[in-house]
Amino acid sequence: MLNVEADYHQNQMPPKAPLKPLLVRAFSGEPIERPPVWLMRQAGRYMHEYQAVRQKTDFMTLCKTPALAAEVSMQPILAFGMDAVIVFSDILPPAEAMGLALTFGDKGPCFPNALLPDQVASLRIPEPEADLGFMLETLKILRRELSSPEHQDRALIGFAGAPWTLATYMIEGAIASEKGRHLHKTKAWLYNRPSVLHALLEKLALTIGRYLIAQIHAGAQAVQLFDTWAGHLSAREYAEFALPYQRRVISAVRQAHPEIPVIMYARGMRGCLPLLTQSGATVLSLDEFSDLSESRSALDANGFADLALQGNLDPVALWQADPERLTELTKQTLASGGSRRYGFNLGHGVLQYTPRDHVARVVDTAQAFRWQAP
Amino acid sequence: MLNVEADYHQNQMPPKAPLKPLLVRAFSGEPIERPPVWLMRQAGRYMHEYQAVRQKTDFMTLCKTPALAAEVSMQPILAFGMDAVIVFSDILPPAEAMGLALTFGDKGPCFPNALLPDQVASLRIPEPEADLGFMLETLKILRRELSSPEHQDRALIGFAGAPWTLATYMIEGAIASEKGRHLHKTKAWLYNRPSVLHALLEKLALTIGRYLIAQIHAGAQAVQLFDTWAGHLSAREYAEFALPYQRRVISAVRQAHPEIPVIMYARGMRGCLPLLTQSGATVLSLDEFSDLSESRSALDANGFADLALQGNLDPVALWQADPERLTELTKQTLASGGSRRYGFNLGHGVLQYTPRDHVARVVDTAQAFRWQAP
């Protein structure tokens, strides 16, 4: 009877992870003998396994087909053995679920009809289970796969775009263009229609908070919020248009699941650590321009000793550095991260041109690393 | 006799400016009633006068034809009345004069054959008068034009790219591409061939130091060094590959002409003020992400009260903000700059899409501004 019931539940619900994986232990401040290792955008075009899937499937179909998205999420784990799986998806589906049509163009996903100010009021707040079920289903599949003994020390990470960054994509439509990279439409809202921008950010914060909580229900053991375009804001603008909405998302997640590490990645914000500490996140993921050891010291000296760090090898080094130099840079990054509340990662996502033996080298080097006695 | 001699000299040499123009007085700490106003890339595609010249002439020919380059340099002054003229040119001709062929492609000037490591040794150090005479001739023409009574309070500004930024252009060939914007070739040198990169930067520092001194001899009353790609470096990398070569250039200029303000623009370095103070510049030009008033306070508190500031209205605000909002943002910037050793400018160059009435509004607002009694 018990077995039958267990099997029944296994098909309906993700099994609980048997123990806290390395990444969660590290970010919670538990003693660990080496930092956990994963890489932003670790599944993607640099892998021939990924290219093989993409030859049969377009990007959006891949994101929306849980079996395929789960397969692609696991590819880097099977090839390189990272300590965490980040669910394969894109940051834009929640905006699509709010009512803005999404397509996949030459240069990635985009909104062919950019959002106009008078459309903000009619955007809906999605129900994650009904509207973004594909992502949750992918997490459930991954949760089951990671419950096998060989994977049980690997963490499953969910993610979402932060409200400011999602707003820029919705308002610009396409960011890849020469004109779009200035975020000029978003800045026009910011300068001329700040209350409409705030209304959009409110809706996004509510949407993303619910979405991340649903991801945790589906099996995510940590979540990362990506504010990739934060660096396009001055500190004053960041404090008004990015930070309060990060806080709203993170506070919702923390209230519902205080045990779950929340990782905040705000790109282009070096030198602004005091602002970053205010998001309420339990982990700050630093870009490659920031300094891990200086940030650690500054956090410790200012009452943020409990805040963990993640990062920050330059993805261009991963792509371009010669093998021995890459090993050296990886070790420097690890040393800079320190022996407490730190996880190894890149400063940004893996670039599509990256040789896979570079990825293998970095993961192997980081996993062979051990803290020296002080 | 005297008149004849004066006329003779007028045709041979640039006449001395009769008094220190507002910008020089401001940056030297002399009392001024309002800050000087000019805009980076104030001459360019957003002006129909410029477009008219470009319809007859390609970009490189324009740069290399002193009469035309001087005409274009004066266009924004005649249209908007800024307090300084920056000589119209590009940052790449000195690299061309070192021996790397330069062409003008769809997306601006580029080096069709990117520099290879084994070519560094054969790069020559140009003689500014012989190899970059067109730029010096343009300055001499402008010096003469600015000596008329209506212009004599306007400063003439020379400029050059900083060694690190010039090196990235030479090594990448073209930066506009999706791949090139990561500066991956330059980073490959940085990670794998640092001594070759240092050798290139040495040659560039020598070249640029001489070039700026020659510009001062030709009539420039202030010079600006542009390290536009500084933000692609971590603080540690900046301290190794950008800062020492800025210092070398600036020290050469300061030694030869201690009376000339040297303006340092390093983009993407917010939060790194202690590094910026080490260049030896007398003026720091801040990008739109930095905070003028916080920077002023930090400089004053750390023994850099003599360092002047320039900046930093967002060029996207200049393009996109509604007129009244633009006036307000201009006033905020002016207030943030403070009443001492400050010059109004943008955080980066004027964008080509900018409406000219926005430029007129900002210049008029800034020139109507007066310091309040404290």
- Give pLDDT tens digits for B77-99: 999 999 999 999 999 999 999 99
| Interatomic CA distance for residues A96 and B211, integer angstroms | 54
Q: What is the pLDDT of residue A7?
A: 45
User: Of the candidates B291, B319, B351, which has its C-beta nearest A234's C-beta?
Assistant: B291
B353 annotated active-site: no
Active-site residue flag, B90: yes
Q: Which ranges of chain A have pLDDT less than 50?
A: 1-10, 374
From the centroid of its chain, how far is CA A166? Answer: 13
CB contact under 8 A, A192 and B325: yes
Contact indicator for A49, A75 with CB cutoff of 8 Å: yes
Does B181 reach chain A within 8 Å, measured CB to CB?
A: no
Query: Which amino acid type is present at position B117?
Result: P
Chain B: give the shortest CA distance to residue A314, in Å. Answer: 9
Number of C-beta neighbours around residue B36 at 10 A: 26
pLDDT tens, B348-374? 999 999 999 999 999 999 999 998 654
Residue A13's pLDDT is 57
Q: Is the pLDDT of residue B111 over 90?
A: yes
CA angle A319, A325, A328 (to 5 degrees): 115
* C-alpha R_g of chain B: 20
Q: DSSP 3-state assignment of A317?
A: helix
Residue B201: how many other CB atoms lie within 10 Å: 22
Q: Of A133, A29, A20, which Cα lies nearest the Cα of A83?
A: A20
B106: closest CA of chain A, how far (Å): 13
CB contact under 8 A, B184 and A271: no
What residue spans of B13-81 are helical by DSSP H? 22-27, 48-56, 59-64, 66-80
State what percent of residues in chain B have pLDDT above 70.
Answer: 94
Return the residue of A nearest to B314 by Cα. Answer: A234
CB atoms within 10 A of CB A232: 24
**pLDDT tens-digit readout, B182-235:** 999 999 999 999 999 999 999 999 999 999 999 999 999 999 999 999 999 999
Using DSSP, state whether A156 is helix, strand or coil: strand
Give the Cα-Cα-Cα angle A308, A310, A312 (nearest 5 degrees): 145
DSSP E strands in A267-314: the ranges are 283-285, 308-313
On whether the CB atoms of residues B104 and B58 are closer than 8 A, the answer is yes
State the pLDDT at residue B7: 45
Mutation target to probe the B interface, by most B beta carbons within 10 A, among A270, A290, A293, A361 is A270
CA distances from A105 to A59, A68, A102, A175 (A): 10, 20, 10, 12
Active site residue B54: yes
Nearest C-alpha in B relative to A234: B289
| Interfacial B residues in 83-142 facing A (CB < 8 Å) | none
Residue B179 confidence (pLDDT):
75
Distance from CA of B62 to the nearest CA of A (A): 24
Nearest neighbour of B188 by CB, restricted to A179, A320, A329: A320
Residue-wise pLDDT for B132-143, tens only, equals 999 999 999 999
Separation of alpha carbons A278 and A274, rounded Å: 7
In this complex, which of B184, B235, B289 lies closest to A320 when CB atoms are compared? Answer: B184
Query: Which ranges constitute the DSSP H helices of B218-269?
Result: 235-237, 243-256
Strands (E) located in B77-132: 84-86, 103-105, 108-110
- The closest alpha carbon to A83, from A140, A28, A26, A141, belongs to A26
Other Cβ atoms within 10 Å of B166 Cβ, number: 28
Alpha helices by DSSP H, listed for B101-159, are: 128-131, 133-145
Nearest-CB residue to A271 (from B182, B271, B353) = B271
Quickly state the pLDDT bin for B18 (edges 50, 70, 90): low
Residues of A in contact with B288 (CB under 8 A): 234
> What is the pLDDT at residue B319?
98
Determine the Cα–Cα distance for residues B310 and B312; give it in Å rounded to an integer.
7
Q: How far apart are CA A38 and CA A342, in angstroms?
A: 12
Tokens found for residue A132: 């973004």
**Cross-chain residue pair B187–A289, CB shorter than 8 Å:** no
- Confidence category of residue B175, pLDDT binned at 50, 70, 90: confident
Check pLDDT > 80 for residue B8: no
Is the model's pLDDT at B346 over the cut of 50? yes
Walk across the sheet containing B222-227 and list its strands: B84-86, B155-161, B222-227, B262-266, B283-285, B308-313, B342-346
pLDDT of residue B295: 98
Predicted pLDDT of residue A239? 98
What's the pLDDT at B5?
42
Mean pLDDT score, B20-34: 95
Q: What confidence score (pLDDT) does residue A12 get?
A: 54
Candidates B46, B50, B83, B90; catalytic one: B90
Q: Is B45 a catalytic residue?
A: yes
**SS3 state of residue A235:** helix
Q: H or E stretch including A104?
A: strand A103-105
C-beta of residue B73 within 8 angstroms of C-beta of residue B147: no
Q: Enter the pTM of the model.
A: 0.93
A351 touches chain B (CB under 8 A): yes
Active site residue A58: no
Contact (Cβ atoms closer than 8 angstroms) between residue A261 and residue A308:
yes
pLDDT band at B276 (very low <50, low <70, confident <90, very high): very high
**How many C-alpha atoms does B132 have within 13 Å on its Cβ side?**
30
Residue B11 has pLDDT above 60, yes or no: no
